[in-house]
Structure 1
Amino acid sequence: MEIPKKQGYLNNISLLRVFAILIVVLGHSMVVYQYNWGIYTPLIKSSFFNSLKNYIDIFQMPLFIFISGYMFYYCRRECGKYKNTSKFSFDKTKRLLVPYLCVSILYVLPIRMLTNYKAYSDNNALEVFYKYILTGLDSGHLWYLIAIFEIFIVFYLFEPIINKLGTPASFIIIACANIISYKFPHVFQISTSIHYFMFFYLGYIIRKNEKAFAYEFKGNRNIILISASFILQFLLLIISLKISNNNLICTLSKNLVYLFSNISSAIFYFLALSTISFKYKSLNSNKILKFLDKESYAIYLFHSPLIYIMLKYIANKNISPFIVVPSFFVIILFGSLGISYIIKKTQILKFMIGASTTKKHSTISS
């Protein structure tokens, strides 16, 4: 009988997680220059940051979900965790839904109301809570907490069926669900959960087959695979942008191509950063990386609303995007770290953001 091992610290995933959270912060730092954002319209537009944000969008959140699926397999199948359904559900509720409600009510809602956020402008705070927060229809970046909670619970319950069907059949079924996910209700992030379920499963099967995968793709083969996935992500993204949404067939084709662009980019960054982690061992003990990894969840929780405060005052100012974006990145990164520091000094507030009272890594994908 296989004896479950104690959960360890996966250096490649730590590096991947730090990269992912920094990319999310960077992406939100330039979102005002994305042509289809529509919340604030800057006086100066930037085709460069619009294009860069469109590229970042193909992997920033799929990468987070990928890490969660990867860690789920590692924790459940290799370390013997998550054996009790009730405890698993309770832990994920405390870890994800409690912070969702607390941070959205006490942090996101006040900031958006004070900065005249358009969707909230014709409602009082109680109406916003019922219409947008409780339903998950518009709680800003916190949509992720609802979606990943649902993915965790559904995957946990259906894992035996998914494994029984086998990887090819499950992959096809889950990919098809991703392609038609836009047809499902948006309330409670149901549509989003179905869309991102694919990337959770991708992380799961990568970890499940990692030994065989690493054996087949080592040395020059690994370089070829990294290069191919790097090129493929761009090629598929360009193709998806060329396909219109004129009819159902075009929409489904566009979604399929975009999905494989997402998958290619997630695989590329996983392979590239894992290779870097294994080759440059000194990174694994880097104090800054370890700190950012530990704080990744708090950074995610608190970074985005800070943008609205700054945009309220500078969106219509004649300031170069190449000054705005780096400034936003530094301010919201260190601002969220500062808020995290204050909150974690207070026991009650630690509970409100789902932080553990024990000393362990508190990360966004746990």
Structure 2
Amino acid sequence: MEKLSDNSNIKNKSNKINNLRVLAIILVVLGHSIIIYSSSWDLYQTSNKVIFLDYFKKIIDIIPMPLFFAISGYLFYYSHKRYHNFIVFTIKKFKRLIVPFFCVGIFYLLPIRRLIKYPGYMDKSLFDIFINNFLKVSDIGHLWYLPSLFFIFIISEILLLMMEKIPYICKKSEVIFITISTILYFVGYRIAFSYPPLMSAYSYIIWFSFGFFMNKYKVIFDYIYRKKIILIILVVINMILLIYCSLNDSTKVILNLFIRGLSIMNLFELMPNYSNIFFDKIGENTFGIYLFHSPLVYITFANIPNAFPILIIIVNFFIWGFIAFELTRIIRKLHLKFIIGE
């Protein structure tokens, strides 16, 4: 959910990236809206079992977060070239991600959870919640994404700056970057010090580096997808594997990586590069929608968990989604944009 650069090299891709971001946030909001029907989620219970929504949630879980990280990595290709001062880069990302993490977490997520008597916070003091939940990044819902992405930016910038100072290696830095990211995906937990944001960073940096890699070699990807027969084959394989994963909980790690990678490739290449008012409005507010939507669905789950599923979806997806969208716009108008990292 990084902002688009002003660099002229990205302007031709800005509409496509914006549309990808809109697709990702729609999937995330939809996933949050129906999570109560997921067999793998047990924070709140419902008497309504909807098998279709359970399987649909499994499909949704495969794509949006890896896609968000890939988009950030794709845009990082430009911002890395623009920044030459690591301190300035770190401060910028701290303002963009960590400041919203604490602002939204403490003044929005926490009050809502206390108001609805969220079980995980019931017997804790505000001090305990701040220390054991926010500083340790434990049980803070969707906000895990912010410190994890922050660490990914820092790790990525350090790796690339180091590689670019070494002759020969600098010419293939993006290949080495995605190789190191893949290694971290498999063994990074050993050096994560059991700190959740670092563990998540090592789990998702592979998609961040994949986005970076796709930007560097976008000409090759465009050439591959230019052949319609290859395009059709890849899309059909993608759809079959997505359905297979939704029906099999014990899908192998390598297969999961392949499906996510293929989904991201297909979406990047197939997403139309045009703009419309609706997508533009949603696109410029995706970060705020992500920040403000998820805590609201807990109000629904705490008060009407057994309502008709269609009512739950209408309230969670459309009503809470609209409120999250409007909250983002109001914050801008009040000149409190630091809350949403701007």
TM-score past 0.5 threshold: yes
Q: 1:87 to 1:170 in 2, by over 3 A?
A: closer
Query: Which residue of structure 2 lines up, in the alignment, with residue 159 of structure 1?
Result: 160
**Deviations along 1:112-141, whole A, 9 cap, x unmatched?**
111111211110122111100111112111
Query: Which residue of structure 2 lines up, in the alignment, with residue 205 of structure 1?
Result: 213
Name the amino acid aligned to 1:138: D
Aligned partners of 1:238 and 1:40: how far apart in 2?
A: 22
Residue 23 (structure 2) pairs with residue 16 (structure 1)? no
**Deviations along 1:184-222, whole A, 9 cap, x unmatched?**
445251110000000000100001000122123304155
Q: Deviation at 1:255?
A: 2.5
Q: 1:226 to 1:55 in 2, by over 3 A?
A: same
- Contact 2:289/2:324 (CA < 8 Å) preserved in 1? yes
Query: Which residue of structure 1 lines up, in the alignment, with residue 242 of structure 2?
Result: 234
Residue 41 (structure 2) pairs with residue 37 (structure 1)? yes
Match of 2:290 among 277, 294, 300: 300
Aligned partners of 1:242 and 1:136: how far apart in 2?
A: 27
Q: CA RMSD in A?
A: 2.3
Query: Which residue of structure 2 lines up, in the alignment, with residue 362 of structure 1?
Result: none
Paired residues, number: 328
Aligned partners of 2:241 and 2:180: how far apart in 1?
A: 22
Q: Deviation at 1:311?
A: 1.4
Aligned partners of 2:194 and 2:241: how far apart in 1?
A: 27
Query: Which residue of structure 2 lines up, in the alignment, with residue 251 of structure 1?
Result: none
Name the amino acid aligned to 1:199: W
Q: Please report the TM-score for the alignment, with normalisation by the length of structure 1.
A: 0.83
Query: Which residue of structure 1 lines up, in the alignment, with residue 300 of structure 2?
Result: 310
Residue 276 (structure 2) pairs with residue 268 (structure 1)? no
Residue 321 (structure 2) pairs with residue 333 (structure 1)? yes
Query: Which residue of structure 2 lines up, in the alignment, with residue 136 of structure 1?
Result: 137
- Contact 1:179/1:256 (CA < 8 Å) preserved in 2? no
Q: Deviation at 1:34?
A: 0.7
Query: Which residue of structure 2 lines up, in the alignment, with residue 95 of structure 1?
Result: 96
Query: Which residue of structure 2 lines up, in the alignment, with residue 179 of structure 1?
Result: 186
Q: 1:28 to 1:155 in 2, by over 3 A?
A: same
Name the amino acid aligned to 2:118: Y
* Counterpart mapping for 1:46-61 below 5 A: 46-61=50-65
Residue 203 (structure 2) pairs with residue 195 (structure 1)? yes
Q: Deviation at 1:86?
A: 1.3
Q: 1:310 to 1:143 in 2, by over 3 A?
A: same
* Counterpart mapping for 1:242-281 below 5 A: 242=250, 254-273=252-271, 276-277=272-273
**Deviations along 1:257-290, whole A, 9 cap, x unmatched?**
22222212222222221xx33xxxxx42x11111
Sequence identity (%): 32
Residue 112 (structure 2) pairs with residue 75 (structure 1)? no
Name the amino acid aligned to 1:158: L
Name the amino acid aligned to 1:105: I
Q: Deviation at 1:5?
A: 4.2
Structure 2, unmatched stretches of 5+, are 1-6
Aligned partners of 2:248 and 2:110: how far apart in 1?
A: 35
Query: Which residue of structure 1 lines up, in the alignment, with residue 278 of structure 2?
Result: 288
Query: Which residue of structure 2 lines up, in the alignment, with residue 62 of structure 1?
Result: 66
